[in-house]
């Protein structure tokens, strides 16, 4: 016959064993992406420079970050737009918060907006995707270093002119052009434009094929704005 006191002692022993096992169970360390506040998209939406406008581009940043384990921030695409009619354009630098920003490996690429557009730490080795991969650049096959920005070197929109610099504000995969930066900071020569991460040259068009022939895959930069 099992007495009440015996049952109580057995329950207490089992509780202690469970507590001991729980204490010995290793906790899962946070993923490197948990503190990531900057990345280059590992892939574009698949329609060339048609990103669904700024809203679609922001959603793509958020989706990639979330899938990689870094979805706790408000993500913004580093893209400028030009004015259309009475609608003012947008400066990429004004969309991305105040910094600092670090890649998936914890390397701070810029402490603030001014440093980002000055002496930042962006290189082929630090401009990583949300998965921690290096974006293939000049000399690699394929070369995907052309990154969509639509921006001047200061991160601002271009004044309205006959040349489209944003593929119709990121809604066109046919007509237009896009200003591109080089994620690996390398080009055909040693000029400032060739080494610019955000304002190197125009694309040959807005389609997947046109971007690929220039040296890109419709990738863009994503920054945590909060």
Condensed to tens digits (0 to 9), the pLDDT of residues 5-16 reads 555 555 555 555
Which tens digit of pLDDT belongs to each residue from 209-219? Answer: 999 999 999 99
**Mean pLDDT of all residues in 175-182:** 96
Instruction: Look at residue 87 in the predicted model and tell me its pLDDT.
Output: 81
What pLDDT is attached to residue 21?
Answer: 46
**Model-level pTM?**
0.86
For residue 142, is the peptide bond before it cis, meaning its omega torsion is within 30 degrees of 0? yes
Question: What is the C-alpha separation between 169 and 171, in angstroms, rounded?
Answer: 6
pLDDT at residue 25, rounded to an integer: 44
Q: Residue range 101-109: average pLDDT?
A: 97
pLDDT exceeds 70 at position 27: no
- What class is the 33-226 domain? alpha beta
Q: Which residues pair with 216 in a beta bridge?
A: 146
Computed over its alpha carbons, how large is the radius of gyration of the chain? Answer: 23
Q: What is the pLDDT of residues 40-99, one digit of tens each?
A: 999 999 999 999 999 999 999 999 999 999 878 999 999 999 988 788 899 999 999 999
Average pLDDT over residues 118-128: 97
Residue 196 has what pLDDT?
98
H/E stretch holding 85? none
Interval 186-202: pLDDT, tens: 998 999 999 999 999 99
Residue 106 or 34, more confident: 106
DSSP 92: G
pLDDT(116) > 60: yes
Question: d(Cα 162, Cα 140) in Å, to the nearest integer?
Answer: 34
> What ranges in 44-121 are assigned the alpha helix state H?
53-68, 113-116
* pLDDT attached to residue 2: 47
DSSP 158: P
Highest mean pLDDT among 26-30, 82-86, 103-107: 103-107
Q: Is 123 exposed, middle or buried (0-12, 13-18, 19+ CB in 10 A)?
A: middle
pLDDT, one tens digit per residue, over 143-176 is: 999 999 999 999 999 987 778 999 999 999 999 9
Cα atoms found within 13 Å of the Cα of residue 153, Cβ hemisphere only: 11
Q: Which residue has the higher pLDDT, 15 or 109?
A: 109
User: Mean of the pLDDT values across residues 104-110?
Assistant: 97
The domain segmentation of the chain, as residue ranges, is 33-226
Distance CA 11, CA 23 (A): 18
């Amino acid at each position: 016959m099992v007495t009440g006191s015996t049952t109580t002692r057995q329950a207490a022993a089992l509780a202690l064993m469970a507590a001991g096992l729980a204490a010995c169970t290793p906790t899962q360390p946070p993923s490197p992406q948990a503190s990531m506040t900057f990345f280059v998209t590992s892939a574009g939406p698949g329609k060339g420079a048609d990103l669904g406008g700024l809203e679609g581009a922001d959603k793509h940043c958020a989706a990639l970050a979330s899938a990689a384990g870094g979805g706790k921030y408000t993500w913004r695409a580093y893209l400028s737009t030009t004015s259309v009619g009475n609608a003012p354009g947008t400066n990429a630098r004004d969309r991305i918060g105040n910094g600092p920003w670090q890649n998936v490996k914890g390397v701070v690429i810029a402490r603030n907006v001014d440093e980002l557009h000055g002496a930042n730490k962006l290189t082929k080795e630090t401009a990583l995707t949300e998965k921690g991969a290096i974006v293939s650049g000049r000399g690699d096959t394929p070369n995907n270093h052309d990154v969509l920005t639509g921006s001047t070197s200061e991160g601002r929109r271009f004044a309205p002119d006959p040349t489209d610099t944003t593929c119709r504000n990121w809604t066109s995969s046919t007509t237009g052009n896009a200003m591109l930066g080089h994620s690996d900071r390398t080009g055909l020569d040693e000029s400032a434009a060739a080494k610019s991460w955000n304002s190197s040259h125009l694309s040959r068009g807005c389609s997947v094929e046109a971007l690929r022939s220039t040296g890109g895959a419709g990738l863009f930069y994503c920054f945590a704005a909060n």
